[in-house]
Amino acid sequence: MTQRSNLQKNENNIFETERLIIRLISLHDTQLVFDLYNMPKFIEFIGNRHITNLEAAENYIENKFFPQIDRLGYGNYTIILKEGTIKIGAVGIFEREGLDVADIGFSVLEEFEGKGLMYEAAHKIKEVVMQNFGLKTISAITTKDNFSSQKLIQKLDLKFKNFITLPNEDKELMYFESE
């Protein structure tokens, strides 16, 4: 495991809502990434990231999430339920190849679906990143059959614009954007 400065110690990178603590992802979240990325719904709707063990999850955090956080100051955040301090999911604002506008993405462990927690987290991160980092617009993408994500994206006041296909992908996605 490589050592790196811990951005999470900065108070400005920890946010709270009524039920949640939201902080930048760290290597302490390796098990959560492993669990999220191996859920059948994650693989079906987001894709198989081939996170087959904890070492792969750690490498994914280091190589996919940390570079953007180091460059922009925001990225992927771990969502922690205040009651019991349980890690339940992740939400983030990402630069994604093929999109001109930063993209909000989220995933939650199945036992915490349908409780409004992802809306609470995504709304907070959207608000914080737009205010603190000057983003004027946020986008979101999802598959045509991921109805729960579509509903959440629309609840975040993002409007469907068109269908897109990202580079090196073959699946057509729904593209949403804030106004």
Give the tens place of pLDDT for each residue, 82-111: 999 999 999 999 999 999 999 999 999 999
Question: What number is the average pLDDT over the span 49-78?
Answer: 97
Question: What number is the average pLDDT over the span 128-152?
Answer: 95
Residues 20/81, Cβ–Cβ less than 8 Å:
yes
Residues 89/28, Cβ–Cβ less than 8 Å:
no
The angle formed by the CA atoms of residues 83, 86 and 89, to the nearest 5 degrees, is 120
Residue 10 has pLDDT above 60, yes or no: no
Contacts of 31 (CB under 8 A, 6+ apart): 54, 57, 87
* Helix, strand, coil % in the chain, rounded to nearest 5: 40, 25, 35
pLDDT tier at 12, thresholds 50, 70, 90? low
Q: Which of 179, 99, 115, 98 is nearest to 152 (CA)?
A: 115
Residue 41 token pair:
């719904």
End-to-end CA distance of the chain: 42
Residues 76/46, Cβ–Cβ less than 8 Å:
no
The full length of the chain comes to 179
pLDDT at 83: 93
pLDDT at 1: 36
pLDDT tier at 142, thresholds 50, 70, 90? very high
Residue 71 has pLDDT above 50, yes or no: yes
| Distance in angstroms (rounded) separating the CA atoms of residues 106 and 83 | 20
Residues 79/22, Cβ–Cβ less than 8 Å:
yes
Going from the C-alpha of 144 to that of each of 48, 90, 140, the distances in angstroms are 17, 21, 13
